[in-house]
Structure 1
């Protein structure tokens, strides 16, 4: 027997193990990045298939209602607007930032409005408003698809594994956002209230007489509630509109001695909170780019008016989809809470129903059949399993808060297309 070959086996055994581990280490160094790239590419390919399905579905629903036959020129304009780029105003000089941002947003809104009103088969103002909002859902799903496709090609082209962690976290968020945009498009075209319409619904339930327009797309009614004068504001419905809440509040504050402003709006819930739960707030309960919120805060500060709020909790996808039964039923508690807050002040109070007023008319009588339009959606929701909303991940980012998280779906879209 040759010494040391089979004898003294322990040292040889450990030497073999060490050699194998060393070889595996170098093999993993070489192959592990390729395995990671293969995994993320496979995942992104699957997500892109889903995103493509969402964007095609949203587009088909929109075109079916928009126009039966589009000319080559209209189709070219349609494709151009789907790929629109938005450049936000520079913040190098912060003075006048709100006004400049408002101007850019108004310009984009006018661009979409001109296209829809100039080429749609219908001339009904409410249907045109719904089509205008539905087109933004089409644009949103299209842009999200482009962003994820961009990331996939970037990773494959650069072989940069540092990007993988960030993209892996963002993929479920983009997929959830695209699905909610597709569902929002369907709701707008069906004239069904979305979760975000709960604020206007609460306001409409408080209006007994036909209101008047006090600012662009904002209706106002002076109501006597519990022997108190309450100025109720909401977007002009039942078409899908938002409107100039800031201008409306500024006008009311100039013409009336307001003692408080109560804003009612949807707010992002924490995981574990019940959909439709109602809570009080302080400040302006409003998401969006921040223009209208800023103007309300400015008017309230100038006239020394307290800012009270009522929020109805829901996830970001629930705010975009047709209104769930739990959210619809919450209007009673939210209305009572708004009236309770108003009663804490002796004088006149403004109650503002914030949100997209799709499917919600301007008077209490106009809201009576809303639940019938939503029943088919409620049946669909019963068959779905409740899932964690990945949009909630955005709340961990610096500067995120519950009042602003409701806008996540819209702000993310604008960030991807500018």
Structure 2
């Protein structure tokens, strides 16, 4: 079969020369050598694995390039933002914050680990905030929050890029097909994640509410009906109003800045202020949906609905245990991209449904004269109170 193919090629060349070094015969010889050489190499130890690693690495490298492009775009957006806000040397600031990290507290001795974690997280946030205000002392809170979010997105993209690159180079160095297979499987997921972060950065800088703002949006629907508001904790506000002969205290992050506030500490302060006389705590938050579930679908359960590393969530749990207060959770489902980019129509419409849902919960599970704490958990970008 192969000889027939070579003969056809030779005839197509239109020559009848018998010279072994003439066009068709030379082509025949070269192709024959390549074919035999490839066939023989297949039996050499490691050749097959090396060739597979090479082909797989090409695919992973394409994905890594896409992530790198998102990182470069994020850096350019951050640099432009800093220039617009009057930073004299944006690149220097970016270089300082892009690789910032927080080391987890010692877990071998878990005593007081939450307070240690809280200290580290708060200290890191305060340090970045101080860096911004030291360079630009008169910056307004909204602009400051935009820079904070922009640096967080940039740092996340930088970490994704570096981790994928690390395992790619490691797989090549060790000629490990197993590492390369795993990398090829997860790389598309991280590309999708990087794309979502890239979109999120632009949305936050426009001050547009995001999907994760579902909780604060629900809370704001109640807070708009009262003038009795106060600062409950750092970047977090609370307000009290009367609802169906019940006292309702609503907690949310202070908007319209892009922040999640400190809702755990705020709830703790509110309940202590009420003398522990709280009948129920209701938490409302966005939650990641499983594939196949509808965006904007509502679910109800027990516990603190909050995507927190620990300090804020446990603060609510501890004060609830102290005063024996049941905790209800109401969530609205969405995927990661929907959570960190502009709020979808389905999520916005779900907010009205959740308001009615919460009202029904209060009427069903409390009685006149009771005090209820409602917590709208999430990023309150573009959502005031």
TM range (shorter): 0.7 to 0.9
CA contact (8 A) 2:214 2:286 kept: yes
Change (3 A) 1:304 1:28: farther
Who is 1:381 aligned against? none
Alignment of 1:1-400 (within 5 A): 27=43, 30-68=46-84, 70-71=87-88, 75-119=91-135, 123-207=139-223, 208-210=225-227, 211-256=229-274, 257-343=277-363, 344-346=365-367, 347-362=370-385
TM-score, normalised by the number of residues in structure 1: 0.77
Question: Following the alignment from structure 1 to structure 2, what is the Cα–Cα distance between the partners of residues 109 and 100?
Answer: 14
1:101 is displaced (CA, Å) by 0.6
1:221 is displaced (CA, Å) by 0.6
SS at match of 2:106: coil
Deviations 1:238-265 (A, max 9, x none): 0011122121111222222110100000
Who is 2:22 aligned against? none
SS at match of 1:88: coil
SS at match of 1:144: helix
Deviations 1:149-184 (A, max 9, x none): 111111112212231233223212221221121122
Aligned residues: 340
Question: Following the alignment from structure 2 to structure 1, what is the Cα–Cα distance between the partners of residues 208 and 327?
Answer: 30
SS at match of 1:286: coil
1:76 is displaced (CA, Å) by 2.7
TM-score, normalised by the number of residues in structure 2: 0.83
CA contact (8 A) 2:168 2:180 kept: no
1:44 is displaced (CA, Å) by 1.7
Change (3 A) 1:31 1:245: same
1:300 is displaced (CA, Å) by 0.4
1:117 is displaced (CA, Å) by 2.6
Question: Following the alignment from structure 1 to structure 2, what is the Cα–Cα distance between the partners of residues 217 and 137?
Answer: 20
Question: Following the alignment from structure 1 to structure 2, what is the Cα–Cα distance between the partners of residues 206 and 27?
Answer: 73
1:88 is displaced (CA, Å) by 0.8
SS at match of 1:180: helix
1:24 is displaced (CA, Å) by 8.6
Question: Following the alignment from structure 2 to structure 1, what is the Cα–Cα distance between the partners of residues 42 and 167?
Answer: 29
CA contact (8 A) 1:62 1:189 kept: no
Q: Which moved more, 1:338-347 or 1:76-85?
A: 76-85
Question: Following the alignment from structure 2 to structure 1, what is the Cα–Cα distance between the partners of residues 115 and 52?
Answer: 47
Question: Following the alignment from structure 1 to structure 2, what is the Cα–Cα distance between the partners of residues 168 and 360?
Answer: 40
Change (3 A) 1:286 1:28: farther
- CA-based RMSD: 2.1
1:63 is displaced (CA, Å) by 2.0
1:227 is displaced (CA, Å) by 2.7
